[in-house]
Structure 1
Amino acid sequence: MYLGLDLGTTGLKAVLIDGERRLLAEATAPLSVSRPHPGWSEQDPAAWIRAAETVLTALAAERDLSALRGIGLSGQMHGAVLLDAADAVLRPCILWNDTRAHGEAAEMDADPQFRAVTGNIVFPGFTAPKLRWVAHAEPRVFASVAKILLPKDYLRLWLTGEHVAEMSDAAGTSWLDTGRRLWDESLLAATGLSAGQLPRLVEGSDVSGHLRPALAGRLGMPADIPVAGGGGDNAATGVGMGVVRAGQAFVSLGTSGVLFAANDAYAPAPETAVHTFCHALPDMWHQMGVILSATDALNWYAGLVGEDAARLATSLGPLRAPGETLFLPYLGGERTPLNDAAIRGAFLGLAHATDRAAAARAVMEGVTFAFCDCRDALAATGTRIDGLIATGGGARSDYWLAAIATALDCPVTLPVAGEFGAAYGAALLGLMAAEDVGAEIAEPPATARIIAPEASFTDAFRAGHARYRKARTAIQGVT
């Protein structure tokens, strides 16, 4: 058996798979987020350990873990876990969705070496600006920092006693030379840090350490189990979905939205606001267009009109051409392609004929057009997309998938029901590390059906996206 642990923002998920990559068992434990001030988002790393104890105890009650052969890790990216020389946590972890360091991020992004070396904009949620904020606001804490870990790598420290990170997660710190896959000392120096304060780097499918004997004995696991490097949550999902070769991609319709494409070469283009990161496998990279409100936008609208979001999404009937009503889904700013934390959403073209269903379609079309922006940004880097696999809660809506397939002019594959997300990808990486195998075992899931573009609406969606781009430009600086 092989274990995958995915440390999310709202919960920790564990899955067990066998050597044939079949799901055997799973368990989850909830997590909460602390928001002590506007724009702040924090978690206590001790809560992650308690959650890990909970899910591992639950799995041990369901399965004999003495057959376990490998462990893989995945998790939320960009967080800053600050440790002293005794590995004690100095302050709560500052999470990926914390925006307090927006000023520091802008200052760092104005230094051309950051984009040149990392291949990315320095976004406020990335790790490096958080450390600069700590240096300014909490100088005593900053002076005591001996090690900086990403969230899943704090779990690794608990599992193995090792300070280790892997390439896909490290690429979201603003300290990694993403092309050369190593820490850059000049970027660290610009943040007032040294290479000794960061963990050792490995590839996601490599062994990063071994399970501590005391922990193994307590949980009924074999001693010395290898723990793989693992991956950031989206990279691990890419492994779980089999998106590990150039041309393969997935679209995630979760609270936020991701258009994720695998690459076999490094092709940064930070001016597009595309994330260019290392993949969780050697000699692979990936790029992501990220939108901040996907199903979140539909949930907002459903709450506004007192309707159930799932019922709205599944009751719209067959695909229609976009109407006059247009929705811009910038409820909390936008990343790709705008990199604008201040922009806000809008309805345009409202009329007496705009009823609840028409507005719901406009919301889903607006998110779809935001994915078109991501596609265009990815294309500007030379990245190709031959087909898309759909994942996330929004993928339950046939209307939404048909709109995406038609607007992006690309078939969308809906996989059979099952677990193919970050925890599953982490388990596959654990299998790779334990058995010394590679990307050949990361295969796309079986297909339930394929949603093809509706050719009769292609021109209408192209025109709708053109209107969307004009509207986006018009509201910047106004909202």
Structure 2
Amino acid sequence: MYLGLDIGTSGVKAVLVNDAGAVVATAARELALSHPAPLWSEQDPDTWVEAATGAVDDLASCHPREVARVAGIGLSGQMHGATLLGEDGRPLRPAILWNDGRSQAECVALERRCPSLHTIAGNLAMPGFTAPKLLWVARHEPKIFARVAKVLLPKAYVRYRLTGEMVEDMSDAAGTLWLDVGQRRWSALLLHATGLDLHHMPRLVEGSAVSAVLAPEFAQRWGMAKDVVVAGGAGDNAASAIGLGAIAPGDAFLSLGTSGVMFRATDRFAPAPASAVHAFCHALPGLWHQMGVMLSAAASLAWLASVMETPAAALLAPLGERVDGPSPIRFLPYLDGERTPHNDAAASGAFVGLRGATGRGQIVQAVLEGVAFAARDNLAALSAASGPIVEVDLVGGGSRSPLWAQICADVLGITVHRVEEGEVGAALGAARLGRLAATGDDPAEVCTRPRRLASFAPRASVTAAYDEAYRRWRALYPALKESA
């Protein structure tokens, strides 16, 4: 039996997976976000630990025999979050998260200080990444910066609390701008550019390797053996790829989670910073991946549901499982800025085309289409970087909706597959990495593809209309940026 923990932005998911690879049980705990100032996004690191241990408590309570048989644990987590620890191993301030946009000026400074940044890290300096956040702390909170002993990412902090070891895997480390992504090691040069040294960084391991052993207090608490290993794990998207079996060059998926991602596995380090494509290490040795990233995917629908004080499912239900063409309303889903292709933390969301006769259904449809159009921007960026993508699996909370899957297929012009366990993909991938660490099994035998539940092909009857709607939608960002 193997346990996967996914430390997300809005919550923590825990899954139990048996030797046959099937999900036996799941548990979840919610997390709260803090936005103390415009563009800021923070969380208390200890809430991750409380949510993670609480979720495992729930599993141990309902499935004690299965939990007692756990041999390996894997961790997945939201990427980029700057968790600053003092000499005592305690957080010095709330963690600054991936969707925090305060450090735009620091990004400019970092690129000026380190002209080889793109070559080494493989990515543009963006406010979401970890390194610019440390420059911001050094500038605005110098007393805190002077006390920083270690910088951990969210899942590494949870690992530290569960095992006492400070360790990070390659895929998550690649999102800091401190990793030499091609060589899979920390870069002293990049660290120096942000006033840090190698001793500020955790030890590195591959995602499928053993990183530590579960602390005795937790093994006893959950009725586990004393030698349960904890794998290196992965950043959330690389973990989702492991859960989807996307471990061969060219394998691709679209994630509609809080953020959105277009992901493709590669057999080499293939940076394409000019189009704001991310190039990161994969969770398995000898593999890398490219990503286009949207900062507000399912978060856009959640925002609308909150504003309308109506559950998302109730908003979607009147639209059915398909629409006859584009909404007359256009929506920019840049509620927290945007990465690919704009790299603009100050970008904002917008509705365009509202009239007195506009109905709620047209607005809801516009939000779904706006996210799909942003995904098409990401598809175009990845296709330009490394060739076309002809089909994708769909994962994340947004994958629950057949309507959204069909809209994505119609907008992207490629087949979209809804897959089994698509909502727990990252946690499932983490559990698989836990198994690989515990057993040394062949990844090709463990990281199998999930069963496809339904396939959605682009419909010829609406393709031309969506192409034209996308063309008009693309004109919104530069026009609104010009008038801002």
Shorter-chain TM range is: over 0.9
Deviations 1:128-182 (Å, cap 9, x if unpaired)?
Answer: 1121122222323222222211111112122222221101100110101111111
Which runs of no fewer than 5 residues in structure 1 stay unpaired?
Answer: none
Partner of 1:68, secondary structure, is coil
Which runs of no fewer than 5 residues in structure 2 stay unpaired?
Answer: none
C-alpha separation between the residues in 2 aligned to 1:11 and 1:467? 36
Instruction: Give the TM-score normalised by the residue count of structure 2.
Output: 0.92
> 2:333 is matched with which residue?
329
One of 57, 71, 74 as aligned partner of 1:72: 74
RMSD: 2.3
One of 163, 168, 180 as aligned partner of 2:183: 180
> 2:428 is matched with which residue?
424
Does residue 102 of structure 2 align to residue 97 of structure 1? no
> 2:64 is matched with which residue?
63
Q: Is the 8 A contact 2:101 2:345 kept in 1?
A: no
Point out the more displaced range, 29-38 or 266-275: 29-38
Q: Is the 8 A contact 2:73 2:228 kept in 1?
A: yes
C-alpha separation between the residues in 1 aligned to 2:50 and 2:349? 38
One of 76, 82, 87 as aligned partner of 2:84: 82
Q: How does 1:271-310 map to 2 (within 5 A)?
A: 271-301=274-304, 308-310=311-313
Q: Is the 8 A contact 1:168 1:235 kept in 2?
A: yes
C-alpha separation between the residues in 2 aligned to 1:228 and 1:304? 40
Does residue 397 of structure 2 align to residue 396 of structure 1? no
Offset, 1:266: 1.6
Q: Is the 8 A contact 1:343 1:477 kept in 2?
A: no
Point out the more displaced range, 67-76 or 302-311: 302-311
Distance 1:451 1:188, change over 3 A: same
Distance 1:419 1:16, change over 3 A: farther
Offset, 1:301: 4.4
Deviations 1:253-296 (Å, cap 9, x if unpaired)?
Answer: 23332212222222111111122111111111122212223233
Q: Is the 8 A contact 2:150 2:200 kept in 1?
A: yes
> 1:475 is matched with which residue?
480
C-alpha separation between the residues in 2 aligned to 1:327 and 1:140? 42
Q: How does 1:17-56 map to 2 (within 5 A)?
A: 17-56=17-56
Distance 1:149 1:297, change over 3 A: closer
Given residue 403 of structure 2, which amino acid in structure 1 is its aligned partner? Y
C-alpha separation between the residues in 2 aligned to 1:54 and 1:120? 36
Point out the more displaced range, 466-475 or 32-41: 32-41
C-alpha separation between the residues in 1 aligned to 2:134 and 2:382? 30
Partner of 2:319, secondary structure, is coil
Offset, 1:245: 1.8
Given residue 219 of structure 2, which amino acid in structure 1 is its aligned partner? A
Q: How does 1:53-452 map to 2 (within 5 A)?
A: 53-61=53-61, 62-64=63-65, 65-110=67-112, 111-301=114-304, 308-317=311-320, 318-322=322-326, 324-350=328-354, 354-416=358-420, 420-440=424-444, 441-452=446-457
C-alpha separation between the residues in 2 aligned to 1:305 and 1:148? 39
Distance 1:50 1:331, change over 3 A: closer
Q: Is the 8 A contact 2:329 2:362 kept in 1?
A: yes
C-alpha separation between the residues in 2 aligned to 1:228 and 1:409? 38
C-alpha separation between the residues in 2 aligned to 1:309 and 1:209? 40
Q: Is the 8 A contact 1:314 1:397 kept in 2?
A: no
Distance 1:426 1:343, change over 3 A: same
Q: Is the 8 A contact 2:99 2:295 kept in 1?
A: no
Does residue 464 of structure 2 align to residue 462 of structure 1? no
C-alpha separation between the residues in 2 aligned to 1:91 and 1:325? 42
Deviations 1:20-75 (Å, cap 9, x if unpaired)?
Answer: 11112222233333344443333333333333332232222222333221111111
C-alpha separation between the residues in 2 aligned to 1:34 and 1:472? 27
Q: Is the 8 A contact 2:396 2:424 kept in 1?
A: no
Given residue 296 of structure 1, which amino acid in structure 2 is its aligned partner? A
C-alpha separation between the residues in 1 aligned to 2:27 and 2:360? 38
Point out the more displaced range, 237-246 or 323-332: 323-332
Offset, 1:391: 1.9
Distance 1:12 1:254, change over 3 A: closer
> 1:9 is matched with which residue?
9
Q: Is the 8 A contact 1:295 1:393 kept in 2?
A: yes
Q: Percent identity?
A: 50
C-alpha separation between the residues in 2 aligned to 1:72 and 1:253? 22
Point out the more displaced range, 456-465 or 17-26: 456-465
Deviations 1:418-476 (Å, cap 9, x if unpaired)?
Answer: 76421111111000111102431212211111111112322222222222222332222
Distance 1:410 1:260, change over 3 A: same
C-alpha separation between the residues in 2 aligned to 1:33 and 1:348? 28
Instruction: Give the TM-score normalised by the residue count of structure 1.
Output: 0.93
